[in-house]
Amino acid sequence: MSIFLDENTKVIYQGLTGSTGSYYGALNKAYGTQVVAGTHPKKAGTDVDGVPIFATVAEAVEATGATASCIFIPAGGVQGAVMEAAEAGLELVVCITEGVPAHDEAYFYNKLKADFPNTRLLGPNCPGIISPGKANVGITAGHIAKAGGPVGIVSRSGTLTYQALYELQQKDIGVTTCVGIGGDPVPGTSFIDCLKAFEADPETKAVMMIGEIGGSAEEEAAEFIKNHMSKPVSSYVAGVTAPPGKKMGHAGAIVSGGKGTAKAKMEALEDAGVKVGLNPTEAGELMMEIVANL
């Protein structure tokens, strides 16, 4: 199985008519994803490479039966795009856009939790989600992902998401689903959300988790793993050499007041029984050992 996304998922691309949206929409469609519609209020009735464009998400849902969307809208329009998707009843909303204001993220995060609990937001500022061999929504290169399980991947970092997939592919290890949750301060989906889903998925036998400095998400995930997960986990935490008080790459990757360091996160994960690598390759090697003993 896979989590959140499979070959039956019909996806609307909010921003399909733009250069970036059309590029990745075409790549995702070529991979096998059911890209069934795009939206643009001024281009309704047209199409992008045969994919029809609707004025609104609600109209696209009514016409196609879509249950998911992928957002390639510029940062200033993301709040409206997320809420439009939720109001149309979509189950999964994947927001690739970076640079979304933190107060906008906080607004729609809380609004979804309160009023649209059946809508899962992935991102913003994330690479998306891929269930190898089934569907790919976002900007992950499909050719680096081996299908067939038994490993699930969840990562804060986009680049390290790709490296995790590649490390496992090189070791002939398949993946059920790889989820890039993004590195912004208010992600719509957390490590724990993904760990819960992987724990419940019968085809996922082990999990690879990629973290980074800043915040407490990895420590919270470690506590969840310790108390609620029966499946083995390998991990890597980026930022061991990062200087305190400086943002490193992501808006959420900042160490402040001695909190959020890579060392503290690694210690919490190790205490929870996670096999922690000192680099992505070592994390992949640890996963190879885990898979060999499944």
Question: Which amino acids are annotated catalytic?
Answer: 250
Given a contact cutoff of 8 angstroms between Cβ atoms, the answer to whether 189 and 120 are in contact is yes
Of 283, 239, 243, the C-alpha closest to 265 is 239
Q: How far is Cα 66 from Cα 161, in angstroms, rounded to an integer?
A: 26
Measured CA to CA, the distance from residue 26 to residue 28 in angstroms comes to 5
Q: Which residues contact 236 (CB under 8 A, 6 or more apart)?
A: 160, 164, 210, 211, 276, 277, 278, 279, 280, 282, 283
Q: What are the DSSP calls for 134-174, one per residue?
A: TEEEES--GGG---S-EEEEEES-HHHHHHHHHHHHHTT-E
- Answer yes or no: are the C-beta atoms of 95 and 74 closer than 8 Å: no
Q: Exposed/middle/buried for 31, CB within 10 Å: 0-12, 13-18, 19+?
A: buried
Distance CA 210, CA 283 (A): 9
Tokens of 19: 């250069």
